[in-house]
Structure 1
Amino acid sequence: MKIKKLMTMSLLSLSLIFPLAACGSDSASTEASNGSESGIQELEIKLSHVAADNTPKGLAALKFKELVEEASDGKIEVKVFPSGQLYGDHDEIEAVQAGNVQMIIPAAAKLSGFEETFEIFDLPFLFKNEEHLQAFEDGEGGQQLLSTLEEYGMKGLAFWPNGFKHITNNKVAIDEPSDLKGLKIRTHGGQIINEIYDAMGAASTKIAFNETYQALQLGTIDGQENSVVNIETQKYGEVQKYLTLTSHTRSEYVVVTNKKWWDGLNQETQQLLIDAMKAATEEGRKQVENLETSSLEKIKSEGKMEIIELTDVQKEEFKKAVQPVFDKWAAKMNQEIINKAIEAGE
């Protein structure tokens, strides 16, 4: 009788243990299998960036929001936080790695601490034009570069454009490298950019973007480098006499997401986001092209700055002057990606 009672108690104990174990197993299984469920998942995506809504990056982000919410029939809500409202330059990367935000759009150079090849856009005269740049970004080289972020808990989804950089100054019409000798030029900073100007005899200095106009006005610096859109919208024509269209380097962004979060999405949801990202990227490219054209036309019509458009021969002289800088820094980067970037323009 005593043995029978003990057996009954044991069976009761086991009956309590097994359901609990099964329940824990189901919970873990559900969490692990979220990525394999069918149908579009219900999500809230926080997308943080530091530009204004009316910039190419801001407009592309809003296009992404529109496309995702429409394609998902409202199951996915994309909350866009522009102008550093949620996170700024100094903390957005850490925020996406921690999963506090799902997507960010930093400047490519800010990712060079993880992979030095993200400074590829600072290599002088690497990309000939928009077609060359886009062929690299959409091809194997660009996708290989994006994939380097995965070991750091991030996933690169796309490159978004910001335009080629050109030089303005208040002293001389620059049409050859020697014209830069002795000039003090404002840049966004970085060793490659500094050495580009050193090679042409100019001094470069890092000044905050929102302080550049005043520095030019006061004569603290002689000139600066920027996209045509920024040159026009920041009204540098009021304090600068010359604009040389050098297209010497490129300013580019990267759309980055949290890898763990991405891997938890099912295939249908991922594909919806991929399709929306492709369309938003094209929107950003279209906006850059349209804004660059309209900004250049506005600068010409205002007539405040003399515009120097370099010939192919003149541009080649600039390229020769900074070739040692290109060779030095390209050698520090992933050679396979560098070669693919060069081949994309052939």
Structure 2
Amino acid sequence: MKQKIFALAMASAMIVSLFAGCGGSSSQAAPAASGEAPAASGGTQYDKVTLKLSCNGTDIANDTRMAKLFAEKVKEKSGGAVTVNVFPNDQLASGNMSKGLELLCDGTVDLDIHSTSIIANLDNRMMVSTLPWLFKDYQAAEDAFFGKGGEFLNTVLSEKGLTYLGAVHNGFKAMTCGKHAIKAPEDLKGLKIRIPGGDFFSAFYTAFGASPQAMSWGEVFTALQQGTIDGHDNSLSTINSANVQEVQKYITISNHTYEAFTFTANTAKFEKLSAETQALIRECVEEACKEMNQQIVADEAGLKDKFINENGCELYELTEDDVAKFKAVVQPLIDQYKEVYGADACTAFGVQ
């Protein structure tokens, strides 16, 4: 990303270097399954195994809620044979998202849920799904991640020693600010905006004259509270789960990009499980993702009311005319990154 450009570029280079050997390291993972395979209620034999699932969000964030729902489902359907221990807040990596992904790659954890912008450190083409105003609604996003888009992600991740299992909504992003409302492109000029990483997010905010600041999620609340940064963007549910609305008065419902939480497995560990256990995990991931997606969509209206009535925030929803003005600024950037991500990625996610 950019003392300004140079510092962010160096950070990006460090991340790329960190994960360069990701695919090879997972092959040394220890077996995930052990013991005899008891029969579930339907008579199917499953491995007796305890799996570690790491995710980045707080206890009430979308990824953690989905992870816990998945753990409940797989335990019940396996008759207690398969146990999944969920570790939120990237606690196994001391809160460091990049380190959390590294633990998946080297097989320290069996399963993992991280956002697109973090997973894309392994291969930048996966950022295609975050292109501005790509999906018309949540259903379109879900269909992509459980359809051709998901197939593309699995192809890319398999090269890194990982297996794609599904995705749950992180959500359409809103912009927050502690200084003033963001209603027009010029309102972003000069603001220090936190980004999770990725050259596209940096280029996106730079196009509006803002100063993007790459920052780990665990540092964001304090930085917003202390005014080290002026704002950030995130889904309404993530804003709520981290209590960002307590330190950011202005929230703009821009829906400018969609981001998913991607559910993956260390391939070497996953393939040591029986075919029946693998199939069960896949089934439970899809069920849990889609059930949680429905809940996330239903929750958003209530969150808007909460931010206004309980937290005293000012909400502004971009109109179609507003969106057209923002999109006009970044359309050359969108066209540029369509070339960067490539035809296969764009076709998979329906990029026109």
Report if TM-score (shorter chain) is over 0.5: yes
Name the stretch that deviates more: 87-96 or 100-109.
Answer: 87-96
| Partner residue in 1 for 2:144 | 136
In 2: Cα distance, 1:334 partner to 1:319 partner: 21
Contact residue 63 and residue 283 of structure 1 kept, 8 A: no
Alignment of 1:1-346 (within 5 A): 39-87=45-93, 88-302=96-310, 304-342=312-350
In 1: Cα distance, 2:88 partner to 2:124 partner: 27
AA aligned opposite 1:249: T
Structure 2: gaps (5+ residues): 1-33, 38-43
Distance 1:73 1:326, change over 3 A: same
AA aligned opposite 1:307: L
| Partner residue in 1 for 2:17 | none
Measured against aligned partners, the alpha-carbon deviations of 1:178-236 in whole angstroms (never above 9, x if no partner) come to 22223332222332112111211222223443443444444443322222223344444
Which structure has the larger Rg over C-alpha atoms?
1
| SS of residue paired to 1:142 | helix
| SS of residue paired to 1:337 | helix
Name the stretch that deviates more: 276-285 or 236-245.
Answer: 236-245
Distance 1:92 1:168, change over 3 A: closer
Distance 1:242 1:46, change over 3 A: closer
Name the stretch that deviates more: 284-293 or 147-156.
Answer: 284-293
| SS of residue paired to 2:182 | coil
Distance 1:101 1:183, change over 3 A: closer
Distance 1:80 1:169, change over 3 A: closer
In 2: Cα distance, 1:58 partner to 1:170 partner: 27
Contact residue 141 and residue 340 of structure 1 kept, 8 A: yes
| SS of residue paired to 1:332 | helix
Distance 1:89 1:271, change over 3 A: same
In 1: Cα distance, 2:305 partner to 2:322 partner: 23
User: Cα distance, 1:130 vs. partner?
Assistant: 0.8
Query: What's the C-alpha RMSD, in Å, of the aligned pairs?
Result: 2.5
Q: Give TM-score scaled by structure 2 length.
A: 0.79
AA aligned opposite 1:56: N
Residue-pair matches, total: 309
User: Cα distance, 1:257 vs. partner?
Assistant: 0.9
AA aligned opposite 2:185: P
Contact residue 169 and residue 243 of structure 1 kept, 8 A: yes
Contact residue 103 and residue 255 of structure 1 kept, 8 A: yes
Distance 1:51 1:243, change over 3 A: closer
